[in-house]
Structures are given as structure tokens and as C-alpha cells.
Structure 1
């Protein structure tokens, strides 16, 4: 892993900005709670009884903050993975530091103009787009660097780019149908606010399914490599997992097919994850 030493200023920068982004993401939960308590609207009956409030699932202010939080969860874990792998490609230290810095500032500004002080577009689009392009750039660098090895790093980079791509697919569907989740998006497009469009929600469910599964692969796949697995088996598991997840998005959100197409494309990667996870747990069980 070329250049990955904590004497490297780029590695130190990555650690710093990753910590900032983690704290920023955790802070979104507090912001959501603050809005709920201020407006006295909760999602659970026990919370409402304690505060003499109401259960309400569609408060616009709460939902705006929750969408901003979800946007963090859709993007920041990919940065952690891709940024770390990018450092192993021996990038120019000054460039890497500036990429990490700009990414972090962009994500903070995105939360401000989305959830704290909503501003008209293109404020949110710019604060989302620049960090997004930085992640795509680093992801491409990782994929190209490790393409000859077809390794964990290569397939992790492919999966990161694929997950980021589903966000673009969501946006494309919204603009095609002119249905949006935020009032400021409708002003320049002559669209409407609609939170239950079936085509948009299908793509969002596919995206959420990625978020429920792919970060776990990044963790478990990396830990699985520390158990000294057979190299050919590990590569084939990573390959099958990646192909399965790509097919899952295709048959779910791009070209929906009848079952069991989606079940198979979900199930095989899922079982691969279970297998690797069990191997990791058994290997390290003596360390309890």
C-alpha cells in the first residue's frame, strides 16, 4: 500500500477530515432530535406520551433534516472507503490534502444550505456536486490503479462508483418526471413536490439496499483478507459479489424484471457476505 504511513501528511489529513465528517454525520441525529422537540412531533408513541406531543411522520421540517442526514449516509461512507484506498495509489500529497479539504467543506455546506438555512438552488446542487465529483475522481483512480490485480481494492472502488451512480439515477428519474422532494428544486424546473412517485421510490429503494449491504462488504471483505484466505477463492468471492450487486440494481431500478431475478441477484451476494463474516468471526473468536 504505497505511501500509507502516518508520517505522510496526506494520511494525517485523511484521518483528520474523516473524523470531522464522522462528527458532522453524528451531529445530524442531534439536529433531527432538536427539530422534533421544538415542533413536538415524534415518530414513536412512547416519545409522544413523554412530551405530550403527537406522532407525525410527514412534518416537512423534520423530513428535510432526515433527507439531509440520509444524503450524508449515501455519500460519506463512500468517501471514507475511496479516500483511504486512494492514498494507497501514492497520489500527490498536496492534491490529496486539498481534495479531502474541499470534500469536507462541501459536505458541511451541503448540510447548512439543505437543513439549517435552506437556500435556493443551485446552492445545494453545488455543495453536493463538488464533493460528489471528488469521490468519483478518487474512485476512478483507485479502479484504474488496481485494475490489473482485480483485487479487493478494485472491486471496492467499483462498488463505490456504482453506489454513487444510483444517486444520479435517482436525480435523472426526478427530472424526467418533474417530481421533487424539496420546494426549491421545483422553481427552476416547473415541477411539483411529491414524495411518493413510484418510479422515484423504486430507485431510492434500490439505493437504500446498496447502503444496507455494500458498506458491510467493505468492512467484512477487508477483515476477511486478514484471515489468510485462498487468493483465488477470495478474488472470485469479490467478483461474484460485485457482479451480483450490479445486476441487482439493473433488475430492480433500471429494467425491472419479475422475481426471482431480484431475489437471486440479492441472495448470492448476501450469502457471500455471510460466508466471509462467519470466517472472520471464527478466525478471531479466540480473541474474545
Structure 2
């Protein structure tokens, strides 16, 4: 693992672009609120009463912004993790900076052409895939660099490898959702119908698409927690063998969860077991961290 200095140009670039992306993510909440207020539609009765609007859950403008926000949540946290781990592989500063810059520009453009001034496809597709490929590239490079994690310095390197695999796994859920949308010709945006050859329809409740989206959301509810608790758990000086097996078990559990839920659905309790195995790992690490640092309370 390469030593990291805060004065290194690539590290400074990562910090700047990560901060920009964090502010961009926060701005999406304001954009959603602006859309609700200007259209007079709200999700909660108290908000509607205060602004003399109405409760409505399917306003197309508001839902478009919310989908843009969710798309950020599906991609930007993965960049924060992969970008930080990528720096430990000692990349060329100019190349790393270019990757960070391309990712940030792509995410900003994605929001503009999706939520601010919607443009016909493939504008949004291009804006999505540039950052997406940056994330996939960094993830692949990290795995290749730390492929010897299980024989040399196993704990930290194992965490890096499994964190990268999980980040890539989260990213793969987007193409899986797209696959079902195009297979069944059901889309969430009018411009996507044109990209699909003009055949299809707007539909927001297709059971197969929604199943994949629920699996994707389940990843977002669990994997970032693993990144945080896993890193904190390593500061407690755990048994190397135990730590490696915990990381490995969590990763396998999350992959199996997606397979039995979204790829080839299997009847319960298959999904429950896959979920609970990973969930138990994160609970165990969280409790160990609290016990180790309890005196700080």
C-alpha cells in the first residue's frame, strides 16, 4: 500500500472533488423542495397545509428530480470509497486527477440534463456512463493491485479488496435494472422510450423492474454501513483471520442476496438467510467497536 500525503496533488484533487460531489448531493434536496413548492405538490399533509398546496405522490417533475437524487446516492458514495482506495495504489497524479475530474463533471452534467433542463437521449446516457466507467475502472485497478491481500498484510488489504468488490457490485445493479426495463419495454422517462427504438411505455410499477430496484436499495441500506463499520472495526486490532472471514462472509452474503432476489428469485427463506448473514456481520462489528471504545463515552 502506497503512503498517502495530504500534500500529494492526487490526494488534494480527490478532497476537492469529493467535497464538490458532497455539496452537489446536498443540493438535490433543495432542488426537490424547489420543484415541490413551485408546483404546489407535497408528500406530507402538514407541508401542503402550510403552503396551501395538495398532497400528491406521482408528480412527474418532482419524481424526476427524486430519481436524479437516488441516482447520485447509487454512484457518488461508491466514488468516495473507490477514489480513496485507488489513491493507495499509487496512481499517476495527473491520471488520477483526470479521473476525479471526469467523474465530477459527468455527475453534474447528469443532473443538469436529467433534472434541470431535460434533454433527449443519449445525453443522459453519456453523462451517466462516463462517471460509471471511472468507478468501474478504479474498482478493477484496486482489486488487481491488492489481489495478494490474503497472503500479505491480510486485514487491511482484505478490507480494501472486499470494499472494492462491494462498490462494483452496487454499480452493477444499474445495468441490471436497465436490462429489465429494455427487456420488458417499460421506462420511467419519456426520452428513454425514444432511445429504446420508440417501442415501450411509461410504467412505474412493473414487478420485475421494481424487484431489482428494491434489491438495489437494499444494497444502499447495507453496504455503506459495512464500509464505515469495517474501517472502524480494523482500528480495534481484531484477529486477522476473523476479520478476513467477516469481510468475506459479508461480501458473499450480499452477492447471494442479489442473486436470489433479483437475478433468479428463490422462495424464502433463501433471501432471508443471505440477508441475515451479512446483517449479523455488521452488527457484530458495530458492537465490537462500541465495546472497544466504550470508555470514550
TM-score in terms of structure 1 length: 0.99
| Equivalent residues in 2 for 1:71-110, closer than 5 Å | 71-110=71-110
**1:71-99 CA deviation, whole Å, 9 max, x = no partner?**
00000000000000000001111100000
Task: Give the Cα separation in 2 of the matches to 1:260 and 1:46.
Answer: 40
2:285 is aligned to: 276
| Equivalent residues in 2 for 1:198-217, closer than 5 Å | 198-217=207-226
| Equivalent residues in 2 for 1:231-270, closer than 5 Å | 231-270=240-279
Task: Give the Cα separation in 2 of the matches to 1:167 and 1:16.
Answer: 27
Secondary structure of the 2:195 match is coil
Q: CA deviation at 1:188?
A: 3.0
Secondary structure of the 1:62 match is helix
1:170 is aligned to: 177
1:286 is aligned to: 295
Query: Does the CA-based 8 Å contact 2:122-2:195 persist in structure 1?
Result: no
1:188 is aligned to: 195
Query: Does the CA-based 8 Å contact 1:110-1:124 persist in structure 2?
Result: yes
Task: Give the Cα separation in 1 of the matches to 2:44 and 2:244.
Answer: 44
Q: CA deviation at 1:285?
A: 2.1
Q: CA deviation at 1:50?
A: 1.2
* Alignment gaps of 5+ in structure 2: 151-157
After TM superposition, the structure 1 stretch with the greater mean CA deviation from structure 2, 15-24 or 276-285, is: 276-285
Kindly indicate whether residue 167 of structure 2 is the aligned counterpart of residue 160 of structure 1: yes
**1:198-245 CA deviation, whole Å, 9 max, x = no partner?**
100000000000000001101110110001000000000000000000
Query: Does the CA-based 8 Å contact 1:180-1:191 persist in structure 2?
Result: yes
Task: Give the Cα separation in 1 of the matches to 2:46 and 2:292.
Answer: 42
| Equivalent residues in 2 for 1:21-170, closer than 5 Å | 21-150=21-150, 151-170=158-177
Secondary structure of the 1:187 match is helix
Moved over 2 A (4+): none
Query: Does the CA-based 8 Å contact 1:3-1:87 persist in structure 2?
Result: no
Alpha-carbon RMSD across the aligned residues, in angstroms, is 0.8
TM-score in terms of structure 2 length: 0.96
